[in-house]
Amino acid sequence: MNLALENVELKQDEEIAAAPQARGPHVPRAMLKELSVVSPWRSPLQLALELGAIGAAALVSHLFWHPILYALAVIWIGSRQHAIWALIHDAAHSLIHKNRFVNDCFGEFMGWIIFVDFAHDRATHMDHHRYLTSDKDPESKLTTLPFRMHSISGFYFVWFMIQYSFGWLAIGVMSQFLLRIWKSLNPKCLLRTRVRVVLNLCVIALFVIYPPLFKYVCLYWFVPFFTWKPLSMQIRGLAEHHGLDGDSPVQLTRNTRATLFDKLFISPNNLNYHNAHHIFASVPWYNLPKLNSKLEECPVFTKEGAYEKDGYLHFLRNFWKRWTV
Q: How far is CA 175 from the centre of its chain?
A: 20
Check if the beta carbon of residue 272 is closer than 8 Å to that of residue 315: no
- Tell me the percentage of the chain whose pLDDT exceeds 90: 45
Task: Average the pLDDT over 149-176 and give the result.
Answer: 68
Tens of pLDDT, residue by residue over 195-244, are: 887 888 898 899 999 999 999 999 999 999 988 998 898 889 888 887 77
- Sorted by sequence, the CB contacts under 8 Å of residue 169 that are 6+ apart come out as 225, 226, 230
User: Which residues neighbour 325 within 8 Å (Cβ) at sequence distance 6 or greater?
Assistant: 151, 152, 153, 154
Backbone dihedral angles phi then psi of residue 10, each to the nearest 5 degrees = -65, -40
The answer to whether 220 touches 227, Cβ cutoff 8 Å, is no
DSSP designation for 254: E
Q: Which of 111, 75, 81, 65 is nearest to 215 (CA)?
A: 65
Calculate mean pLDDT across residues 58-87.
Answer: 97
The model carries a pTM of 0.86
Q: What is the mean pLDDT of the chain?
A: 82
Specify the pLDDT at position 169: 62
Which of 30-39, 171-180, 266-275 shows the lowest mean pLDDT across its residues?
171-180
- Model confidence at 166: pLDDT above 80: no
- pLDDT exceeds cutoff 90 at 320: no
User: Which of 4-8, 109-113, 136-140 is modeled with the greatest confidence?
Assistant: 109-113
Q: How many domains does the chain have?
A: 1
- Closest to 89 (Cα-Cα) out of 121, 114, 49: 121
pLDDT at 140 over 80: no
Q: Which domain holds residue 308?
A: 3-323
